[in-house]
Structure 1
């Protein structure tokens, strides 16, 4: 079923990331796809793969989500090349395991720039059109680290930034609900992506997996499937919600 709407996914250029998996899952559900990434070549490559494999229109655009001019330019390009935007997945993000007593001001600011300001700028640019068309789905990528206070891979800066997205999502859900726009968050736990690849020693990963009731780390498809569910037209009564995707490692 074709939605005749476009889903915009930021930070979706990685070959094995949550963004790429989400682009494929949304395309399989009939959405046309805009892949935004700071790496233009990767964005265009992922878009070409989605279009080829899923039979939808897809377009890759270079965009640094922390730069308001690039956000505006990328959105203008998407609006001119694809059907009306109906969903925004704020996936672009960076992490850091640096301990609080060691973190520099620059690193702290950079974590918030990408994770929080980037999501704000993209949402600020896209949300008016969604509200005007009286349909929209916004999904923000938080983390289990925001809920349990770190302890997975990210340090204090990352946990704080991802927690900020939860408050942003909930407050925005209240404002945009009357306009037919839902705003939700997903909070993945340990997921096999490029962010953690090679950065967790085997012993640490084994210990973390041993603490997960389902007995495994998450996959990008696990996260993408929930995001796609939240973007369905039928999910109109779900807003301001955080979906935990952690295999039971954090139950609250």
Structure 2
């Protein structure tokens, strides 16, 4: 009887393993220090965040998750379903992607290898952070100048800040154009070109390849552009 039960359990496990969803994107890696818990691979579907795969870690901090990717989009790697405080955001695409992190600093500075779109996004963020640091410096100088009632300096800082804003927009525009063959480009345009002129937005949109225009973020960027034009006609 025990042998029968054992064989039954084994057959159930084998069936479960064989029915494990397979996809054209494999996400694997290690979350150091995570000995017990569940990792979820999630993505946005319409306006909802849905789980496409999950794995329970019991005494082992390595993982393998998978999904079918039609067009590269952003995915979330979450721990025990926590999508607010602890999550890793990355560009998913066909192929093998390796993500390594530590449970204590989950999502803070993960190592992500294998996604070209993620590489493009990370490079942009590195440059964007420099603009952000300069912006913070301007804010401090502006605060000090106003506190000292130095109106001349306040005026000069306003002019310098406007130049910084224009440089940031111009850099983002050129970066999106230079990477127009990747899905990360319309995503960057959508999230970072909020203060760009309609002419710049059109220029970026016209630089996209046919495949990128048909991608999820390419379509959303076109809709964003169409809405701006429609509002300007009113």
Give TM class, smaller chain: 0.3 to 0.5
TM-score, normalised by the number of residues in structure 2: 0.32
Which has more strand, going by share of residues? 2
User: Computing the radius of gyration over CA atoms, which structure comes out larger, 1 or 2?
Assistant: 2
- Indicate the structure whose relative CO is greater, using CA pairs within 8 Å and at least 6 residues apart: 1
